[in-house]
Amino acid sequence: MARRRSRSGRTSKTEQEFVSEAEEIIERMRGGLADLEDQRAANDEVDPEVVNRLFRSAHSLKALAGLFGLDPIRHLAHQLEEILDALRLGRVSLESPAISLIAEAVRVFATLLEAVGDAEAIEVAAAPVAGLSEQIEAAVRAARSGPEVVEALDVDPEVLRTLTEYEEHRLQESLRHGRHIVLVDATFEIDSFEAGLTALSAAVRSQGELISTLPAPDDGSDSRIRFSLLSASSLAADALAGRIDVPGASVRSAMRRAAPRAPAAATPVEGADGLPSLQSISETVRVDIRKLDELMNLVGELVIQRGALGDLITTLQSHHATAWIANDFTRVHKELNRKLKDLQTAVIDVRMVPLHQIFEKVSRVVRGLRRELGKDVRLEVRGADTELDKLLVEELVDPLMHVVRNALDHAIEAPAERVARGKPPQGRIGIDAFQRGNHVVIAVSDDGTGIDTQGLRARAEARGLVAADETLSERDVLELIFAPGISTRLGVTDTSGRGVGMDVVRTNLTALGGVVDVKSTPGSGTTISMTLPITLAIVQSLIVCVDEQRFAIPLGSVLETLLVEPREIQRSRDRELLDLRGEALPLRRLSAEFGLGTPPPEAKLFAVVVGIGDLHMGLLVDRLEGQQDTVIKPIQGPIAAIRGIAGATEIGDREPVLVLDVAALVEDPQRRREAPCP
């Protein structure tokens, strides 16, 4: 504790912020590393998702360190990216030193983090970085001609590159089984080399395995030819030499001497207080999100029980004899209500965080990057007080960061270029967040180049994702940015462009039940919209009745409710409209939408006016039943999604009530209108 206090004494607030954030990233890396180690132990194939996760962590750490000027961390993170990239592409295997290098890097990050705020300590902690970086570079370089083999063998990598995959595999297998790899060299007369080579091959085979017969550089003579037989044997070179009885043949070991690793990186920090502290350095409390889930569920159950109590009171009130109890009950119920509301708010508060937390993070990155990239960009953030479940916010960081980096790196042009195109020299990136029904939309827009759809298509064709003669709409082509392996720019930069691109963004968002869309106008900009559900929140809903079936409509998207006389409903072509204070409000009958029975034509109806963005619409229902707190739950079962239904909720102890997905209902007819007529 004493140590911790002295630390916080000398670290500034921004440094603490950095440490806290970096710790989280490193924690994630440890998790990923443990997964990798498990896979290696199980002799499994590398799970690309694990590697990708590690890669993203390294990427985030690099950006963060760059921002705070912590060069050793930034440098090492970059190297880590390199080796993870190689791993991802299968150029390096888990058996190679890769995994220990990654583990070492994570360990060094941790010691570096401990030292933040103390220049001297940083210097000490940074000592292993150079050595480790070299090792990583070597491993990545070696990877090109087969991983382990190159590491272990003293053979010209150029030669090794000529091996077939099978030969390489045999080589690896032999090494794994602890056999010696030897090169048997021999020179033969060119006109009789066949017989000699056959004899030599047979001799080698009798003592082990002949992996490959390699032509060797000749000794300048036209009449002689030299071969090098790459072989594996349980005998060492010296012993083998005695057993190969072919004149002129020489045997040498191809094994690299077991050279000690560069000690700089391999020596763990030890000493009196050298053991890496397990105690978290930052002062924030981290709670397992599942614990919050449990809490949330309990509160949800309580809310439902309260609803049941309300139903009971109504029953009591309706009977003359019990009405007086109902009055007392109502008082208690109200108090319970109030307390429950407080509890509910408190629990939701713990989960819900305003987006400005991550928006600030994004702003920092943008500030850092625009300096680095020499771009003049104004970041406009709107709707930062929009709240989202903590879990979703955390998962949103990476995709959002990626989208913004893409905009900055690829979309926004250099000032001179912008002026030449008749744009203001300063570029603009906008982040707009707003709630739309039970979704939160985060739109990242820029006024840059827009997406080069021709180039995009060409790359997709080159990768075989699209046939050359395939007709694609503009929209389909834009969708290609979400295809795996398509980066919007080819070069590898510090910022983005490694091909871990929009496909990852889409994967991440889909996993959260969200969607990502792209709109782009060549020359004038791109908008990437990410829409996420807020399913975890307790929301107020309006309960409506259609054909005696109840439905819940989240109040967030309800603008008002109207009592509608049938004669007020006007028809325009096949659509029904209502004159709402001079504006035409399109109507939709839920009964028709859901194939339910309709009330008698003269019956009064209720219109629930819902709005999503600029789209307004009146949903016609038979009856309004009042407002309720609802916990929207997913429907368990072999049905993925039902259009127009967001989930279900329990009210009292009666049957579950379906919750309408207003966004889908409102957008449905839009989509239908856009659909080409058959």
In the complex, which residues of this chain contact other proteins (CB under 8 A)?
Answer: 297, 300-301, 549, 593-596, 633-645, 647-650, 654-658
Pick between residue 58 and residue 665 the one whose CB is nearest to other proteins: 665
Coil, helix or strand at residue 594: coil
Distance CA 665, CA 5 (A): 56
Distance CA 421, CA 400 (A): 28
CB of 640 to other proteins, least distance (A): 6
Distance CA 91, CA 51 (A): 13
CB of 534 to other proteins, least distance (A): 18
Distance CA 268, CA 97 (A): 17
Pick between residue 297 and residue 570 the one whose CB is nearest to other proteins: 297
Two structure tokens written together for 166 = 């099978």
CB of 305 to other proteins, least distance (A): 11
CB of 635 to other proteins, least distance (A): 5
CB of 547 to other proteins, least distance (A): 10
Amino acid at 576: E
Terminal alpha carbon distance of the chain: 73
CB of 549 to other proteins, least distance (A): 7
- Torsion sign, CA atoms 157, 161, 162, 166: positive
Pick between residue 586 and residue 656 the one whose CB is nearest to other proteins: 656
CB of 98 to other proteins, least distance (A): 32
Distance CA 190, CA 203 (A): 20
Pick between residue 37 and residue 593 the one whose CB is nearest to other proteins: 593
CB of 299 to other proteins, least distance (A): 11
b/e sequence 579-609, b meaning 16+ C-beta within 10 Å: ebeeeebebbbbbebeeeeebeeeeebbbbb
Pick between residue 29 and residue 646 the one whose CB is nearest to other proteins: 646
Pick between residue 343 and residue 492 the one whose CB is nearest to other proteins: 343
Cβ atoms within 10 Å of 218's Cβ, excluding its own = 13
Pick between residue 19 and residue 648 the one whose CB is nearest to other proteins: 648
Taken as a whole, the chain contains a residue count of 678
CB of 665 to other proteins, least distance (A): 11
Distance CA 502, CA 479 (A): 10
At 617, which helix (H) or strand (E)? strand 615-621
Distance CA 502, CA 483 (A): 7
Pick between residue 259 and residue 640 the one whose CB is nearest to other proteins: 640
Cβ atoms within 10 Å of 2's Cβ, excluding its own = 6
* Contact (CB, 8 A) for 204 and 231: yes
Pick between residue 2 and residue 640 the one whose CB is nearest to other proteins: 640
